[in-house]
Structure 1
Amino acid sequence: MKNTLTFPYQAQYCISHSPSGNENHLWLVFHGYGQLAEFFIRKFLPYDSNETLILAPEGTNYGYLKDFQGRVGANWMTKHEREIAIENNHRYLDQLMVEILKNFEVLPTINVLGFSQGAATATRWASRWEGQIRRLILWSGGFAHDLQWNLAKEKFSNTEIISVLGTKDELITQESIEKQRELFQLLEKDSKPFIFEGGHELPAEVLKKIMAQ
């Protein structure tokens, strides 16, 4: 017999500074497959300020990136016990936001950026979270295909959603682009992506343009 057990669990995250409670903007940034939050957040530190707080949760699944030793990376899920991983992610992210937002009497605007695998995780969570998302950036990734679309449409009705794609991204196919266009249409959102010259990456000059919008 195979059963499950729920128990308290420690999860990692990185934050650009200790919240003062006076920040006007919170950016929640989701790393991609095989990355770690402590390195991913560095790309966003130029935007850290008294008004802007950067929060980078870390996937709770870990593995060696090559063979059985060396660098370790995190991921949000694999196909093994996928549904359990999704629910664990939701509980983790919900609790993380409770812990961060309790510092604020006036809530900041919430912006979410998901890179690669982190984009699907971000859309799953954001479509279910009780708070309001102002901007949702899907970078080198897209909507999870298993969203509850009627609920997501209502949830994202006042959310600006931007897709960011590199012209040389080896992980993005024309088929996946067409699929994401269909999903944007389900949400009645503009599906015109922001295109940059590059691959599966977050170039600093492109990130600057996205963060400034």
Structure 2
Amino acid sequence: MTKDVKRVSYNTSNSYETMFENNNTTKSIWLVFHGIGYLSKYFLKYFENLNPLENYVIAPQAPSKYYLKNEYKYVGASWLTKIDTKDELQNNFAYLDAVVENEGIINSKNLVLFGFSQGVSILTRWMAMRQIQPKNIILYAGGIPNELTKENFEYLNFEDTKVTFIYGNSDFFLTEKRLETEKKKIESLFQNKAEILSFEGGHEMKPNLIAELVSNK
């Protein structure tokens, strides 16, 4: 029996969530990428401590939704898996391009890119592919894909962009060996310009920390 993998192209749509308003008092526009198992509308709660007059938050929604556990009650989502990764990446890139175009923030100098867990993977891939120059890059408790190299980020002007890597000191995903590997990778990719911070805790979001990561002065 012969089995062939065939492909088709088609139009699709997806939602995203926002919080606060983008107006003339806005100093930071956050594009925040949730981790696996989240929905964007619930991920936004971690940013409620931000000053609503100075911040505007956009939370893209990972497209692959599924039921959590076996209760068929709560829904989570994933950005991509090891299956059809290249196609899924291109679909995600097209979706993210549409979000930033719809919001009119493609060339914003106030952009903050924030990724948590699996969100770090899609954030860094999209940013490198589109050569986005944000004012802040915050990589929170996630790993950068191995296929990304120093050359992918050479376009960044580190006088205009601050890079922060933050992790919990008891994160069960970060063994001592993996943490050392990630630190070396970050130092190489971002030319030793990244700030590496840790907090007391595990693989979790800390809302009180987030408001301190970006200065709106």
TM-score, normalised with respect to structure 2:
0.87
Structure 1 residues 118, 151: closer, same or farther in 2, change over 3 A? same
Instruction: Report the alpha carbon displacement of residue 189 of structure 1 after superposing the two structures with TM.
Output: 2.5
Match of 2:167 among 159, 165, 168: 165
- Cross-structure match for 2:137: 136
Match of 2:16 among 6, 13, 16: 13
Q: Secondary structure at the match of 1:7?
A: coil
**Is contact 1:16-1:48 (8 Å) kept?**
no
**Is contact 2:64-2:80 (8 Å) kept?**
yes
Q: Percent identity?
A: 26
What is the CA–CA distance in structure 2 between the aligned matches of 1:98 and 1:21, rounded to whole Å?
19
What is the CA–CA distance in structure 2 between the aligned matches of 1:64 and 1:19, rounded to whole Å?
33
**Is 1:195 the equivalent of 2:198?**
yes
Instruction: Report the alpha carbon displacement of residue 116 of structure 1 after superposing the two structures with TM.
Output: 0.4
Deviates most, 75-84 or 48-57: 48-57
Match of 1:176 among 170, 175, 178: 178
What is the CA–CA distance in structure 2 between the aligned matches of 1:131 and 1:200, rounded to whole Å?
27
What is the CA–CA distance in structure 2 between the aligned matches of 1:21 and 1:93, rounded to whole Å?
24
Q: List alignment gaps of at least 5 residues for structure 2.
A: none
Deviates most, 106-115 or 53-62: 106-115
Q: CA RMSD in A?
A: 2.2
- Cross-structure match for 2:108: 107
Deviates most, 46-55 or 4-13: 46-55
Q: Which amino acid aligns with 1:55?
A: I
Q: Pairwise mapping of residues 16-55 of structure 1 onto structure 2 (< 5 A)?
A: 16-20=19-23, 23-55=26-58
Deviates most, 42-51 or 194-203: 42-51
**Is contact 1:77-1:86 (8 Å) kept?**
yes
Instruction: Report the alpha carbon displacement of residue 68 of structure 1 after superposing the two structures with TM.
Output: 6.1
State how many pairs are aligned. 211
Q: Which amino acid aligns with 1:118?
A: G
**Is contact 1:19-1:100 (8 Å) kept?**
no
Q: Give CA deviations for 1:163-196 in whole Å, capped at 9, x if unaligned.
A: 1111111111222212212222322124552110
- Cross-structure match for 1:78: 81
- Cross-structure match for 2:188: 186
